[in-house]
Amino acid sequence: MLLQVRDLNVTLPDQGQRLHAVRGIDLDVAAGETLCLVGESGCGKSMTALALMQLLPRGAKLAASELRLGDLDLASLSEKKLSGIRGRRISMIFQEPMTALNPVFTIGDQLRAVYRRHTGASAGAAQARAIEMLESVGLTNAALRMRQYPHQLSGGLRQRVLIAMALMCEPEMIICDEPTTALDVTTQAQILHILKEAQVSRNMGMIFITHDLGVVARIADQVAVMYAGRIVERGPRQSVLRTPIHPYTKGLIASVPKPQGDKPGTARLASIPGNVPAFHQADARCPFLSRCALRMEACFTEPPPIRQLPSGQQVSCHLPLPAQEAQSQ
Ligand code: SF4
Ligand code: MG
């Protein structure tokens, strides 16, 4: 396994208490595989990504029984070692490319700097590599783009620059946090295509964070559904999307506007009533309890059991499994 995470926890300071933002999650990503982390905003997806990059905000605390990238134990590395690994072995692409690019340096300055820092290459070699990478993500006039500043590029072009930057040193693993959310639909489709192609051709592992199930359907191999800091359901894309088991996953899928039926624009996303709760204490009960229409007595008293299904799905819920699935338990 390329990336292996066990019992990852992140807490943040919040008005004198600790907010439990990520609660005991496990992740496995193989080389050449895309894992989509799905859920509403505020459910811990971005915090999970930042924990994997060891880029958590000040005051955050991370604990994990395992946090490995290939042969590296990420949790035990010094900041100096980590900065040699970020961008070289594991890269991240953020939602808003403007925050990841420095406004006072040209695109070329920034691309060359990343490559030279990690490889010690000459300025000329870094220039050639940067142009090659810009062209590989579909940028025309790469030599001209190299001389431009971030504000001179559109959102879609900036995101391509960031993808080129993330791929400069051929990382084994790439983490994308809603990289297409700020873009128009056509540009979104192009960026997704570029990322997926880059991932497959390089046999990279990819974690792709999104709240958009349409994106999941297009690019995921595996899906993990997060709710209030926990993974409530996971499994192969087809099983999770076609036969979701957890009431939260079902709600997410049911809230996607259908192409037929409702008039365009009338269907509502995120129609599950209520909000993602914030957890201050260690509460082992189901995080979806306050919003679940199917909750029963056990849900109030016992932590939900983790169930393994023959489809490869894993669900954390008290509900009885569908008949044919339960038989083969
Ligand atoms: Fe609903 Fe209970 Fe399942 Fe939680 S464990 S999703 S409250 S049925
Ligand atoms: Mg986020």
Beta bridge mates, 10: 22, 62
The answer to whether the CB of 318 is under 6 A from ligand 1 is yes
- pLDDT cut 70: percent of the chain above it: 93
The ligand that comes nearest to the alpha carbon of residue 251 is: 1
Amino acid at 72: L
Model pLDDT, residue 89: 96
Q: Are 35 and 222 in contact (CB under 8 A)?
A: yes
Model pLDDT, residue 267: 39
For residue 284, CA distances in Å to 23, 24, 148, 230, 302 come to 10, 10, 52, 10, 8
Identify which of 100, 98, 124 has the alpha carbon closest to the alpha carbon of residue 112: 124
Q: 42: pLDDT confidence band, cut at 50, 70 and 90? A: confident
Instruction: Indicate the domain borders of the chain.
Output: 3-89+172-258+266-316, 100-170
The ligand that comes nearest to the alpha carbon of residue 315 is: 1
- pTM comes to 0.92
The answer to whether the CB of 326 is under 6 A from ligand 1 is no
* 100 CA from centroid of ligand 2 (Å): 15
* 145 CA from centroid of ligand 2 (Å): 29
The answer to whether the CB of 319 is under 6 A from ligand 1 is yes
- Tokens standing for 149? 């500043």
- Tokens standing for 78? 């010094």
Q: Is 75 helix (H, G, I), strand (E, B) or coil?
A: helix
| ipTM confidence | 0.98
Mean pLDDT for the stretch of residues 168-193: 93
* 315 CA from centroid of ligand 1 (Å): 10
The CATH architecture annotation of domain 3-89+172-258+266-316 reads 3-Layer(aba) Sandwich (3.40)
Q: 324: pLDDT confidence band, cut at 50, 70 and 90? A: low
Model pLDDT, residue 325: 54
Q: Are 172 and 115 in contact (CB under 8 A)?
A: no
How far does Cα 294 stand from its chain's mean position? 29
Q: Is 78 helix (H, G, I), strand (E, B) or coil?
A: coil
Q: 283: pLDDT confidence band, cut at 50, 70 and 90? A: confident
What b/e string do you get for 284-321 counting C-beta neighbours within 10 Å, with b at 16 or more? Answer: eebbbeebbeebeeebeeeebeebebebebbbbbbbeb
Report the chain's mean pLDDT, rounded to a whole number. Answer: 91
Q: Are 84 and 71 in contact (CB under 8 A)?
A: no
- Tokens standing for 55? 């880029």
Residue tagged 């008005």 (tokens): 15
Model pLDDT, residue 277: 80
How far does Cα 187 stand from its chain's mean position? 19
* 33 CA from centroid of ligand 1 (Å): 30
Report the C-alpha dihedral over residues 296, 241, 28, 304, rounded to 10 degrees. 0
Q: Are 161 and 111 in contact (CB under 8 A)?
A: yes
Identify which of 245, 220, 252 has the alpha carbon closest to the alpha carbon of residue 319: 245
pLDDT in tens, 225-276: 999 999 999 999 999 999 999 999 999 998 877 665 544 443 344 467 777 7
The answer to whether the CB of 272 is under 6 A from ligand 1 is no
Distance CA 234, CA 248 (A): 12
* 154 CA from centroid of ligand 2 (Å): 22
Identify which of 128, 208, 205 has the alpha carbon closest to the alpha carbon of residue 170: 205
Distance CA 306, CA 191 (A): 36
pLDDT over threshold 60, residue 52: yes
Distance CA 52, CA 68 (A): 9
The answer to whether the CB of 247 is under 6 A from ligand 1 is yes
Q: Are 67 and 90 in contact (CB under 8 A)?
A: no
Model pLDDT, residue 268: 42
Residue 326: its H or E element: helix 323-327
pLDDT over threshold 90, residue 182: no
Q: Is 9 helix (H, G, I), strand (E, B) or coil?
A: strand
The answer to whether the CB of 295 is under 6 A from ligand 1 is yes
Identify which of 290, 284, 285, 257 has the alpha carbon closest to the alpha carbon of residue 271: 257
